[in-house]
Structure 1
Amino acid sequence: MRHPLLLAALVPAALVPGNADAQAIPAGRWDVVSTAVDLVIPGAPGFIVRMMKGRSKTEHKCLSPAAAQAGVAALLAPDPKAKCRVDALQVGGGRYSQALSCPQKKGTPIQIARNGSFDASGFSGRLKMAGQTPKGAMSVTIDQTARHVAGPCKG
């Protein structure tokens, strides 16, 4: 059984408005690694949940020089395909906090909270996702890191 919202939550992308610290980050290629820490997914077979725990997914991103000027907010933005709404974003003093609401096909939106620290080389933090599924309350905890891996993006 696949959980597309879980996969969408593992994929941050693009640029969002917010209370962003003006500390620019390097343009170019970045890796954002998301590792599942804890999963409570009602109705999912136990072996699938156990298999997902500890697994990592790496998203390769490319930030233009203009996007990189926005700082870490460029790396924290949700994937537009997930259609998540940024409810709050605080970035400053080496810390970030973000709240998102992500629609489901049925039911109330999934709530996501992200918190962590950042510097010019990337960020490290935790994402907590909670919501209701037809089979009960769901919660997922994911650790995330982002690191600049190379110079200019490939064409």
Structure 2
Amino acid sequence: MPRSPASKSLAPSCAAALGVALVLVPCAAMAAGPVLAAGRWDVTSTVTDIAVPGAPGFILRMMRGKSKAEHKRLPAAQGVEALLVPDPKAGCRVDSQRIADGRYAQTLSCPQKRGAPMQIVRAGSYDATGFVGQATVTGTTPKGGMRIVLNQRAARIGD
């Protein structure tokens, strides 16, 4: 099936933005908190809402509900900050971060190929079993501002 001109021009920028958003598991300064069990962990991000101006509605509907898991292996005696480290490939910078009292909050700037950096705001709660939270990604596409909301969860999956 042929693609519309709008989907041709927006598909790469929309896919790149979503790719960065789903891969992100942001950075942390060392913080006191519960020690996590060593082993394999999955950090899963699920798109709950997405708005990208000019993107075909069917593409946005297909993206809603999609999940991506990042697999991590933690050594012994690590805190939740070890799960909140960004993927180095994304090239994101941590603008602010707070990890304390079972809550985390973080803001990031992530470069795009063209235009101003995307902004990511994350917040949620954590304990010795992992974390649960939400990330909101905002940025600019050639057709205007975009917004992606992700639910995020980290859980231990094995040794």
Q: How does 1:72-91 map to 2 (within 5 A)?
A: 72-91=80-99
Aligned pair count reads 147
Report the CA distance shift for 1:19/1:81 in structure 2 as closer, same or farther (over 3 A).
same
TM-score in terms of structure 2 length: 0.86
User: Of residues 95, 110, 122 in structure 1, which corresponds to 2:103?
Assistant: 95
Greater Rg, structure 1 or structure 2? 2
RMSD: 1.6
TM-fit CA distance, 1:38: 0.4
**Residue matched to 2:53:** 42
Instruction: Name the TM-score, length of structure 1 as normaliser.
Output: 0.88
Identify the range of structure 1 (54-63 vs 137-146) with the bigger mean alpha-carbon deviation: 54-63
> In the alignment, does 2:115 pair up with 1:107?
yes
CA offsets 1:109-142 (integer angstroms, 9 cap, x no match): 1000000000010000000011111110000000
Residue 58 of structure 1: how far off its partner (Å): 1.7
Distance 1:88 1:136 in 2: 26
Indicate the structure with greater helix content.
2
Deviation (angstroms), 1:83: 0.2
SS of the equivalent of 2:83 reads: helix
Stretches of structure 1 that go unaligned for 5 or more consecutive residues are: none
SS in 1 for 2:145: strand
Task: Summarize deviations over 1:41-71 as a string: whole Å, max 9, x none.
Answer: 1232211110010111122211123xx52x1
Task: Say if 2:25 and 2:43, in contact at 8 Å, map to a contact too.
Answer: no
Q: Is the 8 A contact 1:35 1:144 kept in 2?
A: yes
Q: Distance in 1 between matches of 2:157 and 2:70?
A: 12
Q: 2:33–2:101: 8 Å Cα contact kept in structure 1?
A: no
